[in-house]
């Protein structure tokens, strides 16, 4: 490898434009990597005679990344590189250059006439161009200087762990303290045991602590140095640990239970995706050494006996197979990207269309790796679970066979017929299938869809792994020029990346080379692999990585904030048998991790380090979607302990009570709630989840049935306790309520109960829907409609109700109908929650104009005041009913009355959606249609209190 020497990078674009390989910088025609020196007169010649010609005739099509055929004539490098297909100039023989022939418009075969649109260049211009080429293409220095040889970038260097002095204490703290001292920043003191217990519990298990267990730790008489490591080991031994940490890796593996978009209703589900998730949970719980963890996920099928005891490892290949569907080259690209971005923090996919702009990854090497995956596309589904037996399974098999037979009966005669036509294809099923008519293929697809759906729905098959196997005769892979599969370049040999190799990159010789590739990734000398995983684990503990660009350790990524620490950790990790649990133990025992989430010196620390890169405070973190949902279930006592198995839907009723890691993840149509809570995008490998705060999150925690159901269950339990409030605080926060908590709770419960008490409203809004009339003496009589259909209120289930003057009464979102007579006038009732000055508006609309005899419309209150009373004649279609600035007192009831008028209710379907606006703005406006709702579930103060606790920052953040 060359030593650090500056090279020139043309427009920051193609490092290897001039070069055979990025690593042979000295071997190129330009000598030591610098451009040749030209005479000032030569540069003048270029500026005067050449550049204007280029500007006018060539550059519109031939410049920048959009250049036609890849030929960029806007830089000297571009001229020398030529097009994607060939060189275009030869300074030794300018006349013979393709480009000169092209502008001569010789019409020779394979020589296009240029410029394509516009006039032919003049003889003088062509002569100048030829002269200029002969000079060696003089061009002024315009290039951007890259200070360092990209191969010397930090992440490509071998891991170089610094020495840690014997008395340095915890190595993590040693490095962090050193950096803090240099910057004049002071760390926060250690957090108390209760805080740490909650923090570590969520961190390792993704679950809230149990109060009693937390107390046991708080009161553990052993000193911290004994009690704390023991706690960490204890928690890591819990099976819930794997459920939490598998999910982290599932983000990397773009885990999904569906393939993506499939046209024509084809089945999208992976039937066995969950076996990969289950494998991950076991792998984390068993602490499979990380190098093995990589090998299994990339090449398990070559490492285990398919029939043996270790066959369950086959499921690890889900890392490859659970990719997004689509065109084959994009499937391959996705697998490559997930592998290298996920396992080596390298954005190799950038080299798909051109040599990587920044990192030393030539396109040819990309396609060498592409070839590995291209030659392992064949999929199989070996059984890894216990065989299923019994009558239910037999029934399933029988049904499956029947469904399969439908396909066979359809397909076989057609294939037989084709085979008659093409006897030499008789035994080559794939070729025969290819000759099916379009309509038949479509029909076959429809029939196949039925079978696939049946299998996926039945959930009867034993566990199977989704594996890939190597092609028996791996094919050669050509470079796709500019990523276009239709444009083939040179053959790319299967081999590892030069940049991550010590010495010559390993050439792959066995099969697709996938196992060899995996071994190179899992190689202890690979400079990126160990750094990548320790950085990710660090991020999962602290919220940010030591390198903040988690999946990009390349030139454009960030540099490590603590390079020595990163290398020390990477080295230590490999040295300690690639143990993830060992790494947890190391990090969690540091004082850096155990410090408080506030720091009394934060003002001065902020000035020095506003982004907390020096970790002078432990960052407070909002619970992730899974942590939040699991915690809600757990504190309510409803979380299922069941592990493994097929997926469940967590956001639709009936709400599953299993842990969120078992959620059905639909890559194509992910329920928006997932991403509202910053869930990773299952379309591609994810680095770090975003951290956003938006009202849609609050709508979910305030209003979703799921959370309110859990709160109700929790409240019911609390009410059975001697001290319900203490119980709730222990359950939800893992601590006893403070005096202030107690006061707040008491006053809330009292006020809520008194407000809710005697509230016999029909609905939970201020509106009720009913009938009655204005009585001169008694004022307005109002009776709520008793029957709710799910969409409308009416008098009874039967509608219209036979032989009853109320028969046609109903109300739905804005629509209504009165009864036969004035006594059964339709009435909306609105009850004021507060004193206010209000404006009322709304339009009454009759659907049957000129029919019937119209209606009488009134607005009144319960104190005998009639604000408005209008007869709406049959001819009238609309009637505005507005009132401005009326005074309303808390508890007042306002009635909106539709009288059938003269006791004739024919054609009296009316639409009326009054709106009430509190002028002070203290209350959001009310609208009949907007607020329309069904029957009230009685508001329960304790449920509301429990639900409130689940909505506090205290519950939703970990400090």
Q: By CB under 8 A, what part of segment 686-715 binds other proteins?
A: 687, 690-700, 702-705, 708
Angle between helix 739-756 and helix 724-733 axes, rounded to 10 deg: 120
N-term to C-term CA, the chain:
47
Nearer CB in complex with other proteins: 6/833: 833
**In angstroms, what is the C-alpha Rg of the chain?**
37
Binding piece for other proteins, criterion CB under 8 A, among 32-40, 392-400, 717-725, 750-758: 750-758
What's the min distance (Å) between Cβ of 368 and other proteins? 19
Binding piece for other proteins, criterion CB under 8 A, among 21-29, 409-417, 499-507, 669-677: 669-677
Peptide bond into 523 cis (omega under 30): no
Provide the mask over 569-588, with x wherever binding to other proteins is found by CB under 8 A and - wherever it is not: --------------------
Question: With b meaning 16 or more CB within 10 Å and e meaning fewer, what string describes 483-503?
Answer: beeeeebeebbbbbbbbbbee
What's the min distance (Å) between Cβ of 363 and other proteins? 15
Peptide bond into 115 cis (omega under 30): yes
Contact (CB, 8 A) for 710 and 947: no
> Distance (Å, rounded) from C-alpha 415 to C-alpha 428?
10
User: 447 by DSSP, 3-state: which?
Assistant: helix
User: 504 by DSSP, 3-state: which?
Assistant: coil
Q: Is 422 in the site for other proteins (CB under 8 A)?
A: no
Binding piece for other proteins, criterion CB under 8 A, among 64-72, 81-89, 531-539, 774-782: 64-72
Binders in 346-365 for other proteins, by CB under 8 A: 347, 349-350, 358-359
Provide the mask over 242-281, with x wherever binding to other proteins is found by CB under 8 A and - wherever it is not: ------------------xx-x------------------
Q: Which of 94, 554, 819, 900 is the binder for other proteins (CB under 8 A)?
A: 554
Strands 866-872, 855-861: pairing kind: antiparallel
Q: Is 742 in the site for other proteins (CB under 8 A)?
A: no
Number of Cβ atoms within 10 Å of the Cβ of 419: 18
Contact (CB, 8 A) for 541 and 588: yes
Look-up: residue for tokens 């990719």? 323
Q: Which of 20, 65, 401, 434 is the binder for other proteins (CB under 8 A)?
A: 65
Provide the mask over 902-921, with x wherever binding to other proteins is found by CB under 8 A and - wherever it is not: ---------x-x-x------
Nearer CB in complex with other proteins: 866/917: 917
Q: Is 834 in the site for other proteins (CB under 8 A)?
A: yes
Q: CB-based contacts of 289: which residues, under 8 Å, 6+ apart?
A: 577, 578, 579
Nearer CB in complex with other proteins: 190/759: 759
How far CA 212 is from CA of 20, 641, 727, in Å, comes to 67, 19, 12
User: 181 by DSSP, 3-state: which?
Assistant: helix
Binders in 842-881 for other proteins, by CB under 8 A: 843, 845, 877-878
> Distance (Å, rounded) from C-alpha 476 to C-alpha 484?
17
Which of 841, 836, 850, 839 has its CA nearest to residue 906?
850
What's the min distance (Å) between Cβ of 349 and other proteins? 7
User: 489 by DSSP, 3-state: which?
Assistant: strand
Contact (CB, 8 A) for 957 and 631: no
Contact (CB, 8 A) for 311 and 683: no
Look-up: residue for tokens 């994009």? 330
What's the min distance (Å) between Cβ of 517 and other proteins? 20
What's the min distance (Å) between Cβ of 623 and other proteins? 11
Nearer CB in complex with other proteins: 36/64: 64
User: 622 by DSSP, 3-state: which?
Assistant: strand
CA dihedral sign of residues 175, 176, 181, 184? positive
Q: Which of 324, 629, 730, 806 is the binder for other proteins (CB under 8 A)?
A: 324
> Distance (Å, rounded) from C-alpha 354 to C-alpha 15?
10
Q: Is 948 in the site for other proteins (CB under 8 A)?
A: yes
What's the min distance (Å) between Cβ of 139 and other proteins? 24
> Distance (Å, rounded) from C-alpha 509 to C-alpha 499?
20
Nearer CB in complex with other proteins: 173/741: 741
Binders in 917-946 for other proteins, by CB under 8 A: 923-927, 929-930, 932-934, 936-937, 939, 944-945
Q: Which of 28, 49, 292, 681 is the binder for other proteins (CB under 8 A)?
A: 681
Q: Which of 164, 330, 426, 849 is the binder for other proteins (CB under 8 A)?
A: 330
Nearer CB in complex with other proteins: 101/324: 324
Q: Which of 224, 766, 804, 862 is the binder for other proteins (CB under 8 A)?
A: 766
Give long-range contacts, CB 8 A cutoff, 24+ apart: 627-632.
627/202, 627/206, 627/207, 628/677, 628/956, 629/660, 629/706, 630/206, 630/207, 630/659, 630/660, 631/202, 631/207, 631/208, 631/955, 632/706, 632/707, 632/710, 632/950
Provide the mask over 109-148, with x wherever binding to other proteins is found by CB under 8 A and - wherever it is not: ----------------------------------------
User: 559 by DSSP, 3-state: which?
Assistant: coil
Please give the size of the binding site for other proteins, defined by CB under 8 A: 125
What's the min distance (Å) between Cβ of 811 and other proteins? 14
DSSP type of residue 507: B
Q: Which of 337, 470, 561, 824 is the binder for other proteins (CB under 8 A)?
A: 337
Q: Is 833 in the site for other proteins (CB under 8 A)?
A: yes
Give ∠ CA 587-588-594 in degrees, rounded to 5: 115
Structure tokens at 222: 């052993």
Binding piece for other proteins, criterion CB under 8 A, among 391-399, 500-508, 553-561, 567-575: 553-561
Nearer CB in complex with other proteins: 442/902: 442
Q: Is 896 in the site for other proteins (CB under 8 A)?
A: no
β partners of residue 958? 621
Q: Is 755 in the site for other proteins (CB under 8 A)?
A: yes
What's the min distance (Å) between Cβ of 620 and other proteins? 5
Peptide bond into 111 cis (omega under 30): no
Provide the mask over 448-487, with x wherever binding to other proteins is found by CB under 8 A and - wherever it is not: ----------------------------------------
Q: Is 383 in the site for other proteins (CB under 8 A)?
A: no
Backbone angles phi, psi at 760, to 5 degrees: -105, 40
Q: Is 438 in the site for other proteins (CB under 8 A)?
A: yes
What's the min distance (Å) between Cβ of 425 and other proteins? 23
Question: E strands along 83-153, which residues?
Answer: 144-146
> Distance (Å, rounded) from C-alpha 834 to C-alpha 888?
8
> Distance (Å, rounded) from C-alpha 781 to C-alpha 779?
6
Binders in 720-739 for other proteins, by CB under 8 A: none
Binding piece for other proteins, criterion CB under 8 A, among 160-168, 206-214, 484-492, 606-614: 606-614
Contact (CB, 8 A) for 511 and 471: yes
What's the min distance (Å) between Cβ of 692 and other proteins? 5
Nearer CB in complex with other proteins: 480/752: 752
Which of 898, 928, 934 has its CA nearest to residue 915?
928
What's the min distance (Å) between Cβ of 69 and other proteins? 15
Nearer CB in complex with other proteins: 65/401: 65
Nearer CB in complex with other proteins: 644/700: 700
Q: Which of 3, 119, 219, 327 is the binder for other proteins (CB under 8 A)?
A: 327
What's the min distance (Å) between Cβ of 743 and other proteins? 10
> Distance (Å, rounded) from C-alpha 587 to C-alpha 229?
11
What's the min distance (Å) between Cβ of 361 and other proteins? 10
Q: Is 684 in the site for other proteins (CB under 8 A)?
A: yes
What's the min distance (Å) between Cβ of 708 and other proteins? 6
């Amino acid at each position: 490898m060359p030593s650090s020497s500056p090279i020139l990078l043309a427009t920051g674009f193609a490092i290897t434009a001039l070069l055979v390989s990025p690593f042979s910088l000295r071997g190129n025609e330009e000598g030591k990597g610098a451009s040749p020196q030209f005479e000032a007169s030569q540069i003048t010649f270029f500026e005067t005679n050449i550049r204007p010609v280029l500007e006018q005739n060539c550059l519109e099509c031939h410049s920048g990344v959009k250049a036609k055929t890849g030929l960029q004539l806007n830089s000297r490098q571009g001229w020398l590189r030529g097009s994607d297909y060939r060189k275009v100039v030869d300074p030794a023989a300018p006349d013979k250059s393709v480009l000169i022939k092209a502008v001569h418009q010789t019409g020779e075969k394979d020589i296009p006439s240029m410029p394509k649109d516009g006039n032919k260049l003049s003889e003088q211009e062509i002569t100048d161009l030829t002269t200029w080429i002969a000079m060696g293409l003089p061009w002024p220095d315009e290039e951007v200087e890259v200070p360092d040889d990209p191969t010397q970038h930090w992440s490509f260097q071998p891991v170089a762990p610094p020495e840690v002095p014997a008395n340095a204490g915890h190595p993590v703290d040693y490095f962090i303290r050193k950096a803090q001292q240099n910057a004049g920043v002071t760390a926060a003191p250690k957090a108390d045991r209760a805080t740490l217990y909650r923090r570590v519990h969520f961190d390792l298990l993704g679950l809230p602590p149990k109060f009693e267990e937390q107390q046991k730790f708080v009161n553990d008489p052993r000193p911290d140095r004994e009690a704390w490591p023991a706690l960490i080991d204890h928690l890591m031994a819990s099976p819930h640990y794997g459920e939490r940490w598998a999910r982290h890796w599932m983000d990397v593996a773009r885990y999904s239970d569906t393939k993506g978009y499939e046209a024509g209703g084809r089945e999208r589900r992976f039937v066995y995706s969950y076996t990969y998730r289950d494998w991950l949970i076991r792998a984390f719980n068993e602490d499979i050494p990380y190098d093995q963890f990589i090998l299994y996920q990339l090449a398990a099928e070559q490492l285990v006996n398919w029939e043996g005891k270790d066959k369950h490892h086959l499921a690890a290949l889900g890392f490859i197979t659970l990719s997004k569907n689509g065109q084959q080259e994009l499937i391959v690209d996705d697998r490559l990207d997930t592998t290298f971005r996920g396992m080596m923090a390298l954005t190799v996919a950038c080299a798909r269309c051109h040599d990587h702009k920044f990192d030393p990854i030539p396109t040819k090497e990309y396609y060498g790796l592409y070839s590995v995956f291209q030659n392992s596309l064949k999929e199989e589904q070996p059984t890894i679970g216990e065989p299923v037996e019994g009558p239910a399974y037999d029934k399933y098999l029988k049904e499956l066979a029947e469904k399969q037979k439908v396909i066979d009966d359809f397909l076989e005669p057609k294939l037989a017929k084709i085979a008659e036509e093409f006897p030499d294809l008789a035994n080559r099923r794939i070729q025969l299938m290819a000759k099916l008519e379009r309509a038949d293929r479509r029909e076959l697809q429809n029939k196949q869809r039925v079978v696939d759906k049946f299998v996926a729905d039945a959930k009867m098959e034993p566990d199977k792994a989704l594996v890939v196997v190597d092609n028996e005769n791996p094919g050669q892979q050509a470079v796709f020029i500019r990523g276009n599969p239709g444009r083939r370049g040179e053959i790319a040999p299967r081999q590892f990346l030069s940049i991550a190799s010590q010495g010559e990159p390993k050439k792959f010789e066995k099969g697709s080379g996938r196992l060899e590739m995996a071994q190179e990734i899992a190689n202890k000398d690979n400079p990126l692999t160990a750094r990548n995983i320790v950085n990710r684990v660090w991020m999962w503990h602290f919220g940010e990585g030591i390198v903040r660009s988690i999946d990009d350790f390349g030139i454009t990524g960030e540099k490590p904030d603590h390079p020595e620490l990163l290398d020390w950790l990477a080295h230590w990790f490999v040295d300690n048998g690639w143990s993830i649990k060992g790494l947890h133990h190391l990090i969690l025992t540091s004082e850096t991790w155990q410090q408080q989430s506030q720091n009394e010196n934060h003002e001065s620390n902020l000035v020095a380090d506003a982004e907390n890169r020096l970790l002078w405070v432990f960052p407070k973190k909002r619970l992730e979607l899974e942590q939040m949902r699991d915690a809600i279930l757990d504190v309510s006592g409803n979380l299922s302990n069941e592990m493994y198995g097929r997926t469940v839907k967590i956001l639709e009723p009936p709400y599953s009570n299993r842990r969120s890691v078992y959620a059905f993840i639909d890559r194509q149509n992910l329920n928006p709630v997932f991403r509202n809570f910053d869930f990773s995008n299952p379309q591609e490998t994810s680095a770090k989840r975003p951290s956003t705060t938006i009202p849609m999150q609050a709508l979910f925690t305030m209003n979703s049935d799921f959370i309110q159901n859990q709160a109700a269950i929790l409240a019911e339990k609390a009410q059975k306790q001697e001290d319900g409030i203490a119980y709730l605080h222990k359950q939800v926060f893992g601590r006893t309520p403070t005096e202030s908590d107690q006061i707040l709770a008491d006053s809330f419960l009292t006020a809520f109960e008194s407000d809710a008490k005697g509230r016999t409203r029909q609905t939970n809004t201020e509106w009720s829907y009913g009938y009655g009339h204005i009585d001169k003496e008694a004022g307005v009589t109002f009776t709520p409609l008793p029957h709710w259909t799910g969409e409308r209120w009416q008098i009874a289930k039967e509608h219209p109700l036979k032989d009853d003057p109320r028969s046609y009464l109903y109300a739905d979102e804005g629509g209504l109908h009165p009864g036969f007579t004035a006594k059964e006038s339709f009435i909306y009732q609105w009850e004021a929650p507060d004193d206010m000055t209000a404006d009322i508006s709304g339009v009454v609309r009759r659907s049957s104009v000129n029919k019937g005899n119209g209606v009488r419309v009134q607005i009144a209150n319960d104190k005998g005041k009639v604000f408005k009373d209008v007869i709406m004649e049959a001819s009238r279609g609309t009637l505005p009913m507005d009132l401005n600035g009326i005074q309303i007192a808390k508890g007042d009831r306002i009635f909106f009355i539709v009288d059938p008028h003269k006791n004739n209710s024919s054609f009296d379907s009316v639409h009326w959606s009054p709106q009430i606006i509190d002028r002070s703005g203290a209350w959001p406006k009310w609208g009949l249609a907007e607020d329309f709702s069904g029957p009230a579930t009685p508001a329960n103060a304790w449920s509301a209190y429990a639900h409130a606790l689940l909505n506090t920052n205290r519950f939703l953040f970990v400090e």
